[in-house]
Structure 1
Amino acid sequence: MEELEGQIAALTSRLEAERRQLERLTVTRETLDEFAAEGIALEASASAAEPVGGGQVVGAQTVTVWRKGMTSADFPPVYRDIVDVVDDAPGPVQAKQIVPRIGLPAQTAKIEGTRGKLKRLVERGWLDEQSAGLFTPSARRRAERSAR
């Protein structure tokens, strides 16, 4: 009986691990489906050469490095919407707060996809990440807007 209980415990543990793996794969698939629906091609490597003009090409969408005088008006709609929501927020915001404001369902895949876009905007100088997962307009952009 003890041997069977040990086998059941081991199998239960293995089943839980497989369920967690399946959930991660499901989220990944949903994220990839979202990218495909938006016409975004995944980058082949993180060391891809940057195009002239400083933008990072992600499929047909470009996220340009922020420079003085630039606005989000030249972004693809989803990036423009994200930047506008962060700009209009009274304080730092999380991806899960942005998703419904840009018209997406509050699903894990949508939140993770938005988080990836937020991180890309941080890399390009449009946003700052105050602490893990909390995003604000970049300090440089805030200074420029207050100087106007």
Structure 2
Amino acid sequence: MGSLFEELEAREAAARLRVEGLEAELAELSGKLDLARESLERLRITRETVAAVLAEMIPEKAAAFDADRPTASEPTTSAYAGAERHVVGVLTVPKWQPGMGVEVLPQVYRDILEVVADAPGPVRAKQIVPRIGLPAETGKIEGTRSKLKRLVERGWLDEDTPGMFTPAHPRTGKPPNSR
């Protein structure tokens, strides 16, 4: 066995190597952190810019909609041709009106209406979630409850007892998936 000083020198050398390794890791992580911060800042600026542009565009589009509408003889080219654009302010769940069918609704709302219509009585959101193919997790239940409330607001469902949903309008004919 070596002397005490040799042992201390060996431990000091090992500690020095460990410190140098950690400093290298810290420098690498610091560089990654700087890149992540730059990316975050670019995304923040982009979001603010898009929000400002949309805020400016919406009143212009609404006021100039009829004036700018192309006639049958004018070409309908756009700077955004071929690009996917999302329409702001579209009502995906319209208010129910006599004669309106479920085909006007997005698929998930149709599935919810079908489950509620097929149930023998009032149903809760947590009973609907597994029947529309979602896992029975809190987030999925709350999302479905939100959709149920929206369907109640728009006249597609009734909620006589809080949290218990029933069809607002009896179905005529057979359900679309029946034989």
| Bucket of the pairwise TM-score, normalised by the shorter protein | 0.5 to 0.7
**Equivalent residue for 2:120, pick from 86, 90, 94:** 90
Q: Secondary structure at the match of 2:108?
A: helix
Looking at structure 2, the residues matched to 90 and 132 of structure 1 have their Cα atoms a distance apart, in angstroms, of 18
Q: Are the structure 2 counterparts of residues 83 and 96 from structure 1 closer, same or farther at C-alpha, using a change threshold of 3 Å?
A: same
Alignment of 1:130 with 2:160, yes or no, is yes
Q: Are the structure 2 counterparts of residues 70 and 77 from structure 1 closer, same or farther at C-alpha, using a change threshold of 3 Å?
A: same
Q: Residue 115 of structure 1 corresponds to which residue in structure 2?
A: 145
- The structural deviation recorded for 1:61 is 6.2
Alignment of 1:106 with 2:136, yes or no, is yes
- The structural deviation recorded for 1:145 is 3.4
- The structural deviation recorded for 1:137 is 0.4
Q: Are the structure 2 counterparts of residues 59 and 77 from structure 1 closer, same or farther at C-alpha, using a change threshold of 3 Å?
A: farther
Looking at structure 2, the residues matched to 58 and 90 of structure 1 have their Cα atoms a distance apart, in angstroms, of 38
Q: Which has the higher contact order (CA 8 A, sep 6+)?
A: 1
Looking at structure 1, the residues matched to 150 and 92 of structure 2 have their Cα atoms a distance apart, in angstroms, of 11
Looking at structure 2, the residues matched to 58 and 88 of structure 1 have their Cα atoms a distance apart, in angstroms, of 34
Counterpart AA for 2:139: A
* Percentage of matched positions with identical amino acids: 67
* Bigger Cα Rg: 2
- The structural deviation recorded for 1:110 is 0.2
Runs of 4+ in 1 over 4 A off after TM superposition: 57-61
How many residues are aligned here? 87
Q: Which one has the bigger strand percentage?
A: 1
Counterpart AA for 1:91: G
Unaligned 5+ residue runs, structure 1? 1-56
Q: TM-score, normalised by structure 1?
A: 0.54
Q: Are the structure 2 counterparts of residues 101 and 58 from structure 1 closer, same or farther at C-alpha, using a change threshold of 3 Å?
A: farther
Looking at structure 1, the residues matched to 88 and 109 of structure 2 have their Cα atoms a distance apart, in angstroms, of 12
Unaligned 5+ residue runs, structure 2? 1-86, 174-179
Looking at structure 2, the residues matched to 94 and 58 of structure 1 have their Cα atoms a distance apart, in angstroms, of 31
Q: Secondary structure at the match of 2:96?
A: coil
Q: Residue 68 of structure 1 corresponds to which residue in structure 2?
A: 98
> Residues 111-132 of structure 1, C-alpha deviation per residue, up to 9 Å, x if partnerless?
0000000000000000000201
Looking at structure 2, the residues matched to 134 and 79 of structure 1 have their Cα atoms a distance apart, in angstroms, of 17
> Residues 2-57 of structure 1, C-alpha deviation per residue, up to 9 Å, x if partnerless?
xxxxxxxxxxxxxxxxxxxxxxxxxxxxxxxxxxxxxxxxxxxxxxxxxxxxxxx9
Q: TM-score, normalised by structure 2?
A: 0.45
**Equivalent residue for 2:172, pick from 131, 145, 148:** 145
